[in-house]
Amino acid sequence: NKFFSNFYFSLLFTSFCLLILLNGSNFIDGLNGLNLGYFLLVLITLIIASKVTNFNIDEKTIISLLIIFIFLLFLNLCNFLYIGDSGAYLIGFVIGILIIETHLLNPSVSPYFFALLLWYPAFENFFSIIRKKTIKLDPTEPDTNHLHQLIYKLLNNKNYSNIFASIIINFYNLAVFLTSIVFMDNTLYLSLLLFINIFVYLMTYFICKKNINSL
């Protein structure tokens, strides 16, 4: 708290986290519906939290974004529209700013609640950098070894694997989001849930990787 009370440190850290989110948003844009679906669930979670607790939100902004995201998701799933790199960065930026503003409206809520809403794209980015460094690859170079791509390969269905992989990942995250609402003011439980997510991610990644290599 002493560090974050310093304006310049807080600004630097927040900017760094926002950059991680932007890059992570682009990382998870490899399957139809994954990026838009994930951030759509973030918006829905904020609305649910405001209805079941004393959670404050900018309802007009969130509902407006919700309608836009639903429309874009429909076009994306029907292969009429692809958001591309610029779209992924824009979505990550808008959601990041929204989360910051929502956190400011709810100072009593644990910051880990908001971290959990964005954990997947952020950890995807972080893990990708470590993974590439470990095998001596340039972290800035793209590859097809992200978790969502491994799940896609493992499903091995040309017609449905793309959407099914997105659904699996987003349904898991929906369960995480709904659970986090119950403990939104309990940092201990939320931090434990965050570590469980990281464990599940790593276990799923290495299991998928092993099964794909054995095919």
| CB of 55 closer than 8 Å to CB of 106 | yes
Predicted confidence at residue 29, as pLDDT, reads 86
Predicted confidence at residue 156, as pLDDT, reads 77
**32 — pLDDT class (breaks 50, 70, 90):** confident
CA distance 54 to 67: 24
Q: What tens digit of pLDDT does each residue of 141-185 get? A: 778 889 998 999 888 766 677 888 999 999 999 999 999 999 999
In this structure, what are the phi and psi dihedrals at residue 174, rounded to the nearest 5 degrees? -60, -40
pLDDT surpasses 90 at 78: no
Place of tokens 């972080």: 126
CA distance 202 to 196: 10
Predicted confidence at residue 1, as pLDDT, reads 59
Q: Token pair of 215, please?
A: 């095919």
Predicted confidence at residue 143, as pLDDT, reads 80
Predicted confidence at residue 90, as pLDDT, reads 93
Q: Token pair of 170, please?
A: 């987003």
Count CA atoms within 13 Å of residue 195 on its CB side. Answer: 5
Q: What tens digit of pLDDT does each residue of 202-211 get? A: 999 999 999 8
Predicted confidence at residue 10, as pLDDT, reads 82
Average pLDDT over residues 185-210: 94
CA distance 23 to 142: 12
Predicted confidence at residue 97, as pLDDT, reads 94
| CB of 36 closer than 8 Å to CB of 91 | yes
Single-letter amino acid, residue 23: N
**Among candidates 24, 187, 176, which has minimal Cα distance to 112?**
187
CA distance 171 to 34: 11
Predicted confidence at residue 40, as pLDDT, reads 94
Q: What tens digit of pLDDT does each residue of 93-128 get? A: 999 999 999 999 998 899 899 999 999 999 999 999
Q: What tens digit of pLDDT does each residue of 36-66 get? A: 999 999 999 999 999 998 899 998 999 999 9
pLDDT surpasses 80 at 18: yes
Q: How many CB atoms lie within 10 A of CB 80?
A: 9
Predicted confidence at residue 72, as pLDDT, reads 86
